[in-house]
Structure 1
Amino acid sequence: MLVGRRPCWRQLQASFFRLLCLIPTGFPVRSVDMQRATDNITIRQGDTAVIRCYVDDKVSKVAWLNRSNIIFAGEDKWSLDPRVDLVNKGQLEYSLRIQKVDVYDEGSYTCSIQTKQQSKTSNVHLIVQADSLDGEEYLDISGIMRNQAGRYECKASNDVATPDVKYVNVVVNYPPAIKNAKSSETQVGRMGVLQCDAAAVPKPEFEWYRDDKRLSNAQGISIQIVGTTTVLMISNVTEEDYGNYTCVATNKLGIQNASLFLYRPGTGRDINGSACLSQSLWLLLASITCLLFKC
């Protein structure tokens, strides 16, 4: 009895294959009449690979091998891999199909054909391409400004698959900036409307003031806020309603205010949109000037 020696599985395979007369001595098989180089097949990871082999009616035995391991011997499957099967379209094709190809399937595949006169082989090298998962790319924006906010596109591509595209929304926070303040020229008894627009991120909160008094929704006064716009409406303007109003916009980063005027028709506005001084105010200034210069 021999101790410490075990038969090699590959040797058993080779011996069995030789008994089938499929492979001549000198395993792995070599073609005795084919001089062309090994064909290459490139397949994407996860796809199905079909490695073609064609025979004729004179073939007595045929087999598929991979790295000297038997996959199929005739119709008998030796491989335990459930992804592997044969494609037989009639009696003249003996192709090998591998589903859900992975990187470890890459390598040399041999279709061995035995006829009464000779044996020959067809060699194919399978190449599996896969996307790299360790690639990283960064976009650094130093001193970012609010006009650089928006959606940015990141695209990764290679020769294997269609590009993979992801989008990143960049939000730039900044304090309020009042960009539009509309005063109102309104007759007594009509509705006066003052409007204030502000740009800010986060969205601003608004307050309205008349002199130092904060205004709120009350009889005759309505305050509306829609997004970054606020509107102060006075439903029935009286003489007491004319004057200066202040719109205040705030968020966690800052505050800004703007002055608006509700004025009677005919008094006009200056180039900044503010109402001009009323006639009574001009008279007051004229009186003060006269006192100063001892008119």
Structure 2
Amino acid sequence: MVWRLQSDRNQLPLLLLRLLCLLPTGLPVRSVDFNRSTDNITVRQGDTAVLRCYIEDRSSKVAWLNRSGIIFAGQDKWSLDPRVELDKRSVLEYSLRIQKVDVYDEGPYTCSVQTQHHTKTTQVYLIVQVPPKISNISADITVNEGSNVTLVCIANGRPDPIITWRHLNPTAREFEGEEEFLDIQGITREQSGKYECKAANEVASADVKQVRVTVNYPPIITESKSIEAFAGKQAYLRCEASAEPKPDFEWYKDDTRLSSAQGLEIKNMGNRSTLMVANVTEEHYGNYTCVAANKLGVTNTSLYLYKRVIPTKPIPASERGSNAHFKHKGPGTAIVDNGSPNLAASIWLMVTSLLSLICKC
């Protein structure tokens, strides 16, 4: 049954040519081969296609046909399509122009030329290329860390576009393979961000779209530092946490929750919280706790506000030398008293021993 339908379809142009008297009735069907001398012409969707056909003399009978029927018979237009017209740049040219070509225009076109001596048919196969176009892509999504994620990117085009995925992180990692679906098993916080789908073929520039993936995870303290502060001065304690969604912060001193009151000011800005003490007193020194929490978890860290003491200023060596004075430790002996009694005693013993030896002599 399929073969019979195909056979009837192949016979349609012959019947039309005979109807137009462009093919003699007695001419055997097998002498006209529509698959012979077939030229392919490739046109991008939206452009203009010109199918060339030439005649031998001005008395020739000519016609253009496609699978749907007759388009032109001589100068008479049979098609109702306003995009179709004859392109006659010379008296011997009988070309067909199709404007704003679309995919349904693709297929075989037949130019038939009947002269006084013979019938010539030329077949042109019109190939319509379509630029890549992403027709469907996943919407932005939010998932918890550890979940499995599948991103979808559907694109159309002729020839079929090649689809690639890329994670737009600082390294711009491109995933292997050419797939419409991107599967991420056990997604991590580092895999959050924008993902780019690119559909490309050789017809035109690639079509590119993006989808954002937000990964929720519990807070982690990333920065905190204990500080020293002078009494009577301002002091700042700072705490930073990484989390998605953004964390809520609380401050405690020992077991007491703090608030912006009585010389304290708490400021929360995104992933950072600061505790400001306007005028440090003795009661402000001690242990503080920063708590960061979101719907997935809670964490904390301890910070200390230390008392800073002004050190005693040491006496310079030059000043110590100017205060030295002489003391007499014996007849005719002067010893410099610079706070070194052991050295003076040693010198005195040496002088006494020397005098003793002289007297014995």
Mapped to 1, the partners of 2:41 and 2:226 lie a distance apart of: 76
What letter corresponds to residue 50 of structure 1 in structure 2?
V
| Aligned partner (choices 166, 175, 178) of residue 221 of structure 2 | 178
Partner of 1:213: 256
Partner of 1:120: 120
Judged with a 3 Å threshold, the aligned counterparts in structure 2 of structure 1 residues 28 and 170 are, in CA distance, closer, same or farther, namely: farther
Return the offset for 1:94. 2.7
Q: Is the 8 A contact 1:23 1:29 kept in 2?
A: no
Unaligned runs of 5+ in 1: 1-8, 268-295
Alignment of 1:252 with 2:295, yes or no, is yes
Partner of 1:66: 66
Partner of 1:17: 20
Return the offset for 1:124. 0.8
Mapped to 2, the partners of 1:73 and 1:164 lie a distance apart of: 42
- Taking CA–CA contacts closer than 8 Å with sequence separation of 6 or more, which of the two structures ends up with the larger relative contact order? 1
Partner of 2:94: 94
Mapped to 2, the partners of 1:29 and 1:62 lie a distance apart of: 20
What letter corresponds to residue 151 of structure 1 in structure 2?
K
Count of residue correspondences:
254
Mapped to 2, the partners of 1:244 and 1:175 lie a distance apart of: 25
Mapped to 1, the partners of 2:84 and 2:231 lie a distance apart of: 91
Return the offset for 1:17. 1.0
Return the offset for 1:90. 4.6
Q: Is the 8 A contact 1:58 1:115 kept in 2?
A: no
Mapped to 2, the partners of 1:12 and 1:108 lie a distance apart of: 16
Find the structure with the greater CA-based Rg.
Answer: 2
Partner of 1:227: 270
Judged with a 3 Å threshold, the aligned counterparts in structure 2 of structure 1 residues 261 and 105 are, in CA distance, closer, same or farther, namely: same
Judged with a 3 Å threshold, the aligned counterparts in structure 2 of structure 1 residues 27 and 250 are, in CA distance, closer, same or farther, namely: farther
Alignment of 1:37 with 2:37, yes or no, is yes
What letter corresponds to residue 113 of structure 2 in structure 1?
I
**Pairs within 5 Å for 1:47-62:** 47-55=47-55, 58-62=58-62
Partner of 2:282: 239
TM-score, normalised on structure 1?
0.73
What letter corresponds to residue 125 of structure 1 in structure 2?
Y
TM-score, normalised on structure 2?
0.61
Return the offset for 1:127. 2.7
| Aligned partner (choices 258, 261, 265) of residue 304 of structure 2 | 261
Judged with a 3 Å threshold, the aligned counterparts in structure 2 of structure 1 residues 153 and 81 are, in CA distance, closer, same or farther, namely: same
**Pairs within 5 Å for 1:87-166:** 87-115=87-115, 118-129=118-129, 131=157, 137-166=180-209
Mapped to 2, the partners of 1:68 and 1:227 lie a distance apart of: 66
Return the offset for 1:201. 0.4
Mapped to 2, the partners of 1:47 and 1:249 lie a distance apart of: 61
Unaligned runs of 5+ in 2: 1-11, 131-156, 164-178, 311-361
Judged with a 3 Å threshold, the aligned counterparts in structure 2 of structure 1 residues 78 and 237 are, in CA distance, closer, same or farther, namely: same
Return the offset for 1:27. 8.7
Q: Secondary structure at the match of 1:63?
A: strand
Measured against aligned partners, the alpha-carbon deviations of 1:207-258 in whole angstroms (never above 9, x if no partner) come to 1111222212224221111110111111211121111111110000000011
Q: Secondary structure at the match of 1:172?
A: strand
Return the offset for 1:150. 1.9
Mapped to 2, the partners of 1:48 and 1:174 lie a distance apart of: 55
Higher strand share: 2
Judged with a 3 Å threshold, the aligned counterparts in structure 2 of structure 1 residues 216 and 66 are, in CA distance, closer, same or farther, namely: same
Partner of 1:192: 235
Measured against aligned partners, the alpha-carbon deviations of 1:113-165 in whole angstroms (never above 9, x if no partner) come to 344554433221123345369x9732222222211222222223344554332
Q: Secondary structure at the match of 1:140?
A: strand
**Pairs within 5 Å for 1:73-88:** 73-88=73-88
